Structure 1
């Protein structure tokens, strides 16, 4: 006999929970109910990352070993009337109404749908075309590890300090590190991406032995890739306090700069993060207290262009963008010229 559905009050709303005992993380035995309760336990943190942001849901209705899909459009049927959405536009020109969490009930409702990972856009519903968050994604390549990403994050911190900016690091939940910087929402995705490229190139010049901005994997070597295309429209990163879909059930977890050099990704999971929050402050608690002027980075981009260092390739599913170099893998380009 199927377990009876539960009605759970969250943020003053009734949220339905079914199949509480369904296994979602087989290796550790964590259930759908555990995922649901986890998101309630990290409510303030997850809402700080999601509130007012169009959010793509990475769903695993049968657990992480089952089918996975990204849901960008809120279902047209069976949705509570209080669920809020925001219309966003994709590079293709198509549009979609995405979930836009207004309170913790929205997060719980998504967890009931089998959402394990939350992917918010770097914009607010008030202006979906102007990012308010610069996301610096430090992605270790084969031959490098989390420790290398932490070293590069130290270079990012030093550069931000020189700018007088405040950056907020977090683990990715895997081998990487993310650093978030709040910016004034007055620039386009194209401009913010160009700023991200300029910053990445500055870091690369400081540590060419350890950092790369090469988009093509065959050119990256054993270095940490600064993934500037995470700032392209419709590219998202698992948010702070989001679970990750791995067997350990790790969490993308905010840390202080001082902690970053002392932790490991596996320190933070579905069980330990609620305990961590209950026992102390959230390192991202002040992330909304400041917003920075992107102008210095845009000036760096202009200097690079003057020196003949222009744009970088966009992801392969994008339409051709103005000023973008040829989107051809270097090895293929070399063969074609022979």
Structure 2
């Protein structure tokens, strides 16, 4: 038994979850353990949680693994941890308490329960009652004689009809047999309205394609056809959640897909959990537009608006006020700000509203200047008794740590909407007009407003010039003229606080060849490991996309950092290892990270100036100036002047692809935008066969291949497609003749990768086509091109 700490949600203290039997095998055919299930669910939490938010979670559990019996569990057991949020539904025959899974810790609890499948309805709670459906789902279930290709054909037909009606549809391979299609609703439908709409579409499609589609549940009419099941839109029904595992022989997942993948029926298959995790890390959530933001704790204030607050606290273990009665209205104009020394220091801003305290956690405290925007995370409503609360919440309890009153007083409301709040504070410390603006889900910004029009912020070119001048220690006159007078409470634009928690901006797949070269810059898409480099004096830190500190993994960056000594810098770039031709090779990076060099392609902060909100063209200009002062800092030039040439050159040089960036675009930390577009090349690679897996239908199911790195053979993945009949006839006998008892790969393989492997002498060399390398050094979607003779 171990106790592991997991993220408890925005603004919350990490939560310890007891984990047991981590080595227990839940998927016997692949050897996948309970520990691997928990690792997947906690890693995929940022992707799955938006699709669970506000929905009652039904779990399907396999305590003894998928080879044994399973059972559905709706009601939350009495021994469930107190920190789990919950909602009660009064069914006709019973009262059921459902969990609301809202955090990484909640997903760890799901995995600990061996709840492999997570099912939810298509509606969310509105206050403490089931609300209207937010989406329609179609379950494409193949009958006998039909399979994924037939489901894909039906999915494309549904897409044509739905998009013709001006709506969007998202495909998900179910991980079981068929495909799920989700349609987000931009309007409220009446009771049963979603089922009615879905049934009508299914019936119409059955008439259009009677040989392929049926809307009838009866099994006798489903042979060779696809059931377009509309019934899961009934409010009483649930559907497997996107990103949920399936309790089948292999650890496949209900996986979001692109429409290009659905159309490629020859290659379409269900995806394993490790593949889905790698896809999400690289491309983000393909269902990002499906479910509208759902602010945790922001349910409408009905007769018991404190139910969530109570569900997260045990009055016997915390000194916090936990009133038993529903809230009653007070004066409605009071506020309190509490300094909260939890695991992460933050300030809780609470405004009295409708008998409760609407609450936001502000990690860096309320802003003191109009030039600041502070992150504010909406949390659960608190009771009015919290206006006077101060004390120590015991360690291990929700929000554990010391809490003191930082300021309190009254406020006036100027505007209060679901996405914007403007108030004027009258406190001892907090005074003036403040705005709270929601950016997404429970993420808000807190901003100190000016009572008069703000002074003009220097345009990007001025800011860029100021940053350049910083390199020589000189200050341009334009910056001096724009400096606020001493004692005014203003802040110089160039004195932005040093950012330590930025996340990389992400690119969206798109066509780059036809983009206007006057508005876009075309760069190399690097085949490496993305990092943000922060240098604050002599303090150097490299962080991965997930925020992990990877400084020790890449020692060569210290040389470039030494040349920047004395500067305060945040750089965006990639760690790469170049092969003998000067082309980045991620297999070399995986084999020896210590050889990696840092390629810088963006500059986010320099010596007191934040460049995040400046144009890319200006950021690029300052980056090139910085690179000229530090020869060890690689700042490659753009790949070409236009998109078509960039695509051609990247393919000719064997590069991963092209990244196109709008010249006037600002940097969007942690977000994926249309102002950065990425084009990937199909790539080819010479590989050496080191093993294979058997197939009941042919000599082998797939080849296990590697790439030579010096005297080592580094495992690169499994190739299962692209073989012609001639390839199969030629390779089968040679594989059988070269079998050996030991693995020829020098790198470590996972238990799943080793399972059912038959090793061979590494004598067969071939070429494969693939899209890219994964972060774990595996070929992504490889196909066999032929043997090298």
TM range (shorter): 0.7 to 0.9
What residue in structure 2 maps to residue 247 of structure 1? 249
The answer to which structure has the higher strand fraction is 2
| Contact 2:261/2:268 (8 A) holds in 1 | no
Q: Does 1:115 align with 2:119?
A: no
> What is the correspondence of 1:157-176 to structure 2 with a 5 Å cutoff?
157-176=159-178
Instruction: Determine the structure 2 residue equivalent to 1:271.
Output: 274
Match of 2:156 in 1: 154
| Structure 1 stretches of 4+ moved >4 Å | none
Query: Match of 1:309?
Result: none
Corresponding residue SS for 1:20: coil
Please state how far the C-alpha of 1:89 moved relative to its aligned partner. Answer: 4.7
Match for residue 222 of structure 1?
A: 224
In structure 1, the gaps of 5 or more residues are 291-338
Equivalent residue number for residue 104 of structure 1: 104
Q: How far off its partner does 1:265 sit? A: 3.0
Give the structure-2-normalised TM-score. 0.35
Rounded to whole Å, the distance in 1 between the matches of 2:6 and 2:233 is: 36
1:242 CA drift (Å):
0.4
**CA distance in 2: counterparts of 1:87 and 1:167, whole angstroms:** 31
Preserved CA contact (<8 Å) 1:168 1:181: yes
**Structure 2 residue matching 1:214: 3-state secondary structure:** coil
User: What's the offset of the Cα at 1:234?
Assistant: 2.4
In the alignment, the residues of structure 2 paired with residue 129 and residue 150 of structure 1 have an alpha-carbon distance, to the nearest angstrom, of 32
Measured in 2, the distance between the counterparts of 1:89 and 1:144 equals 40
Alpha-carbon distance in 2 for matches of 1:236, 1:124: 12
Which aligned pairs between 1:118-157 and structure 2 lie closer than 5 A? Answer: 118-126=118-126, 127-157=129-159
**Aligned residue for 2:204?**
202
Distance 1:22 1:157 in 2: 42
Distance in 1 between residues matched to 2:35 and 2:7, nearest whole Å = 14
Give the drift of 1:135: 0.6
1:45 aligned onto 2:42: no
Relative to 1, partners in 2 of residues 1:185 and 1:64: Cα closer, same or farther, differing over 3 Å?
farther
Match of 2:89 in 1: 88
How far apart are the structure 2 equivalents of 1:167 and 1:67?
35
Cα deviation code 1:304-337 (max 9, x no counterpart):
xxxxxxxxxxxxxxxxxxxxxxxxxxxxxxxxxx
1:31 aligns with 2:33: yes
**2:10 is the alignment partner of 1:8:** no
Cα shift at 1:166: 0.6
Deviations 1:152-178 (A, max 9, x none): 000000001110001111001022111
Q: Secondary structure at the match of 2:60?
A: strand
CA contact (8 A) 1:200 1:228 kept: yes
Larger Rg: 2
Kindly indicate whether the alpha-carbon contact (under 8 Å) linking 2:171 and 2:256 is maintained by their aligned counterparts in 1: yes
Q: Which one has more relative contact order, counting CA pairs under 8 Å at least 6 apart? A: 1
Change (3 A) 1:185 1:60: farther
Q: Is the 8 A contact 1:140 1:225 kept in 2?
A: yes
1:109 deviation in Å?
A: 1.0
Q: CA RMSD in A?
A: 1.8
Tell me the TM-score normalised to structure 1 length: 0.79
What secondary structure does 2:255 align onto? Answer: coil
Change (3 A) 1:106 1:7: same
Q: Are 2:216 and 2:227, in contact at CA under 8 Å, matched by a contact in 1?
A: yes
- In 1: Cα distance, 2:269 partner to 2:191 partner: 30
Within 5 Å, which residues of 2 pair with 1:51-70? 51-70=53-72
Name whichever structure is richer in helix by fraction: 1
What aligned pairs does 1:226-305 form with structure 2 within 5 A after superposition?
226-262=228-264, 263-266=267-270, 268-288=271-291
2:24 aligns with one of 22, 25, 29:
22
1:53-98 Cα shifts (integer Å, max 9, x gaps): 101000111111223110000002x2222101122354x5433111
Residue 133 of structure 1: CA displacement?
A: 1.6
CA distance in 1, matches of 2:153, 2:142: 11
Q: Secondary structure at the match of 2:82?
A: coil
Please give the alpha-carbon distance, in whole angstroms, between the structure 1 residues aligned to 2:226 and 2:291.
28
